[in-house]
Structure 1
Amino acid sequence: MAPIEIKLSKKDLNEIKELTRKGRVDVRVVKRALILKSRHLGMGTDDIAQLLDIDPSLIPITLNNYLEFGLKTTIEDAPRTGRPLVFDDRDKSNIVALVCAEPPKGYARWTLDLIQETCVKNKLVDTISKSTIQVILQEHELQPWREKMWCIPELTEEYINRMEDVLQIYERSYNSSRPVICLDEKPVALISNKHEMIPCSPGQVAKKDYEYTRGGSANVFCAVEPLRGKYFNKVTMDRKRPEFAKFLNDIKNSYTGVEKIILIMDNLNTHSEKSLIEQYGEEKGRVIWNCFEVHHTPKHASWLNQAEIAIGMYSRQCLGDGRVESFSNLREMTRDWNKSVNKKKTIIQWEFNRKKAREKFSYEIVSSR
């Protein structure tokens, strides 16, 4: 994050000069004034914190307050006669700025307890309840204890072209003669409990021992037709070319009388015509491959593949805590889940389109005449 820069007016500099000359001034007021003056003189955050012996997180809060509220509101304390339960805008701004910064050393993320403790320690407020903090966070739509994995793309021409290609397919209306299938793989570790679980009972949750036994790993090919809620999950020993070729053939055999199967997948080296030819021979391999119209997602863009959503459903609903003891057990569980989910026909509501992509990533498509 870029450092916050400020420039004090002559009037503000004179007021700070007069303030620091006074004999009886609250030390917190003086320190806020000196934070502003130090940054005005070009000092860095660490240097200011060391010079004034303060928590570094107070510095951006003070600087932001100055930019938003001016000198007087920033350095002076609000009236403290029976601190009101409803905090003013400056208090809320301070708390929001604190939560949007890194948590103290030794902590991975903010919690309500930690926010409460730090607010009082840093003298942002005299006292504040966790419920009040929660209300302030809700007002600003903040959940600092949550995080998402996100791959920031390098917007090359290839990335944009592939993304636009996939999204224009997702925008099409359903066409039974050209079904859209999304495909991906999921590795699954085979893990068994070392000791028998204790099932739940009234008033008691189920219990399992933390020890477990590793039994190798397996692969699950996951494919979905999002607009129909049709799911294809197949357990294999690995994701090598022969298994991929068999899975693609299984999908092909599930559709009769279609013009073409639109297939969206990543550019893994096994996701190619070569896998079909090696498994079934050149003639049959090409016949199977030509049943598909293949579209690859960009590199580092698994989020564009709706198969990822299907994998998430499968992981939560079928695999649960991830302890699957054997290959045969995984295959049986997967087969049962396929039957159940295909009865429900749960479609995937995909809302991200080309218009949103262009707004999100700030690029334009110039149409050629």
Structure 2
Amino acid sequence: MPVAPARPIAPTAAERERLKKMAYGHKTEHRMRLRAQIVLHAARGRSNARIVRETGLHLDTVRTWRGRFAEQGLPGLADRKRTGRPRTFTALQTAQVTALACQLPAETGVPLSRWSCPELAREAMERGIATFVSASTVRRWLAEDALKPWQHRSWIFITDPDFRAKAARVLDLYARTWQGRPLGEDEYVISADEKTSIQARCRCHPTLAPGQARAMRVNHTYGRGGALAYLAAYDVHRAKVFGRTEPRTGIAPFMNLVAQVMRIEPYASAKRVFWIVDNGSSHRGKAAAERLTAAFPNAMLVHTPVHASWLNQVEIYFSLVQRKVVSPNDFTDLTQVADWLRAFEDRYNATAQPLQWRFTTSDLDDLLARLDRHTADHQAESSVALAA
């Protein structure tokens, strides 16, 4: 039986250049590299049998890709579209499950606090959306829309009527500005707060150091050695921390911290020292501001808005203390706790740099505008729901 002659190949200069890149490129897929090599061999006038001997491929493979290029050019070397497996679920079913995930379980009468993929699959089958659907299928549908209904975040309404003004004062101080004027070289900004109830938990067995493929091990059982409060004042622009431990928090312990800072230089002779604090009971309200100024005339108390401790930079330092000193808690007594806190202060002050605080008053205005829109939308939805 006669054999059909090999299809002649005559690529253009541009096609030949592209074929060379495909055949010898380091990032080319293996299958595309072989197809390009077949075409280049054919372009040199070689027979299919010779190409088979030089490449080690099957004769049918060589014929296929030589013929595809002869008919379609470079696009013929790509895989043809496959119909694939028929869809098991319709687009409507996918949309219904996704819409269900965007509702609170309580709104649908399900006694759950939040959805999981198995619970969504179960609910979809109970509602007749699908005869059977697996949790992995639901998870894939949700991933397409970046939905994770099992996660949650806490938030709180702004209740302080002077939130914008108070927050702006704090942000201006971080930017070395007060009432529209830049701060002088002899004016300082201190961020202060208390970290309450740091316990001394003496583990009943020694903590084991980490090893190869093994995390540090801390015994679960412990004896209580009491608790203390850690008070810290952070110089925002000099990146220096002043701390002290006290048996408990209160007005007197806070004033002890103020005195510890204000009696040393450069704060003792400074023109003004601004103390940024939250609305804790130790330094709340006008009385606290007057008490501070009476004790140190060059000190001024500046309060953050209610429920806005995140504006206080010392909280970032406290988060470092929690991660690097307090947790996991394994101390023999409160004396060791105090010693470690003081040692960490020295270690931090030796290398600390001022925080790169990027939240400005412009960002504050954008945040408040978004919250206003969110509140208005929520109230509108509530009104529609009540009317229905």
TM-score range, shorter chain: 0.5 to 0.7
Amino acid at match of 1:147: H
Match of 2:133 among 127, 151, 164: 127
Once residues 350 and 128 of structure 1 are traced to their aligned partners in structure 2, the CA distance between those partners, rounded to angstroms, is 45
Secondary structure of residue in 2 paired with 1:290: coil
Once residues 238 and 309 of structure 1 are traced to their aligned partners in structure 2, the CA distance between those partners, rounded to angstroms, is 21
Secondary structure of residue in 2 paired with 1:245: helix
- Structure 1 residues 295 and 274: CA distance shift in structure 2, 3 A: closer
Match of 1:229 among 222, 239, 242: 239
Q: After TM superposition, give the deviation of residue 162 of structure 1 in Å.
A: 2.6
Name which structure has the greater RCO, CA cutoff 8 Å, separation 6+: 1
Amino acid at match of 2:156: C
* Matching of residue 102 in structure 1 with residue 105 in structure 2: yes
Q: Which residue of 2 aligns with 1:307?
A: 314
Deviations, residues 273-296 of structure 1 (Å, cap 9, x unaligned): 988999xxxxxx867522322111
Q: Is the 8 A contact 1:190 1:217 kept in 2?
A: yes
Segments of structure 1 that go 5 or more residues without pairing to the other structure are 1-79, 279-284, 364-369
Amino acid at match of 2:166: R
- Structure 1 residues 351 and 286: CA distance shift in structure 2, 3 A: closer
Instruction: Using structure 2 for the length normalisation, give the TM-score.
Output: 0.58
What pairs up with 1:39-54 in 2 under 5 angstroms?
A: none
Q: Is the 8 A contact 2:170 2:302 kept in 1?
A: yes
Q: Which residue of 2 aligns with 1:320?
A: 327
* Matching of residue 266 in structure 1 with residue 264 in structure 2: no
- Structure 1 residues 130 and 340: CA distance shift in structure 2, 3 A: farther
Once residues 190 and 301 of structure 1 are traced to their aligned partners in structure 2, the CA distance between those partners, rounded to angstroms, is 29
Once residues 340 and 140 of structure 2 are traced to their aligned partners in structure 1, the CA distance between those partners, rounded to angstroms, is 41
Deviations, residues 111-164 of structure 1 (Å, cap 9, x unaligned): 455445555555555435648726734744x444443443322242x4444334
Once residues 215 and 117 of structure 1 are traced to their aligned partners in structure 2, the CA distance between those partners, rounded to angstroms, is 49
Match of 2:88 among 83, 88, 105: 83
Aligned Cα root-mean-square deviation (Å)? 3.8
Once residues 312 and 357 of structure 1 are traced to their aligned partners in structure 2, the CA distance between those partners, rounded to angstroms, is 24
Once residues 168 and 205 of structure 2 are traced to their aligned partners in structure 1, the CA distance between those partners, rounded to angstroms, is 51
Once residues 128 and 276 of structure 1 are traced to their aligned partners in structure 2, the CA distance between those partners, rounded to angstroms, is 61
- Structure 1 residues 311 and 181: CA distance shift in structure 2, 3 A: same
Alignment coverage as a number of residue pairs: 274
Once residues 231 and 342 of structure 2 are traced to their aligned partners in structure 1, the CA distance between those partners, rounded to angstroms, is 12
Instruction: Using structure 1 for the length normalisation, give the TM-score.
Output: 0.60
Q: After TM superposition, give the deviation of residue 192 of structure 1 in Å.
A: 2.0
Q: Which residue of 2 aligns with 1:154?
A: 159
- Structure 1 residues 239 and 83: CA distance shift in structure 2, 3 A: same
Q: Which residue of 2 aligns with 1:165?
A: 169
Match of 2:353 among 318, 331, 345: 345
* Matching of residue 184 in structure 1 with residue 193 in structure 2: yes
Once residues 212 and 106 of structure 1 are traced to their aligned partners in structure 2, the CA distance between those partners, rounded to angstroms, is 37
Q: After TM superposition, give the deviation of residue 271 of structure 1 in Å.
A: 2.4
Secondary structure of residue in 1 paired with 2:159: coil
Secondary structure of residue in 1 paired with 2:209: coil
Once residues 208 and 106 of structure 1 are traced to their aligned partners in structure 2, the CA distance between those partners, rounded to angstroms, is 37
Q: After TM superposition, give the deviation of residue 325 of structure 1 in Å.
A: 4.0
Once residues 137 and 188 of structure 2 are traced to their aligned partners in structure 1, the CA distance between those partners, rounded to angstroms, is 50
Larger radius of gyration: 2
Once residues 339 and 108 of structure 1 are traced to their aligned partners in structure 2, the CA distance between those partners, rounded to angstroms, is 46
Once residues 338 and 132 of structure 1 are traced to their aligned partners in structure 2, the CA distance between those partners, rounded to angstroms, is 50
Once residues 191 and 102 of structure 1 are traced to their aligned partners in structure 2, the CA distance between those partners, rounded to angstroms, is 40
Q: Is the 8 A contact 1:151 1:301 kept in 2?
A: no
Once residues 276 and 313 of structure 1 are traced to their aligned partners in structure 2, the CA distance between those partners, rounded to angstroms, is 28
Q: Which residue of 1 aligns with 2:49?
A: none
Q: After TM superposition, give the deviation of residue 355 of structure 1 in Å.
A: 1.7
Q: After TM superposition, give the deviation of residue 186 of structure 1 in Å.
A: 1.0
Once residues 121 and 299 of structure 1 are traced to their aligned partners in structure 2, the CA distance between those partners, rounded to angstroms, is 46
Q: Is the 8 A contact 1:235 1:330 kept in 2?
A: no
Once residues 213 and 293 of structure 2 are traced to their aligned partners in structure 1, the CA distance between those partners, rounded to angstroms, is 60
- Structure 1 residues 214 and 275: CA distance shift in structure 2, 3 A: farther
Amino acid at match of 1:168: D
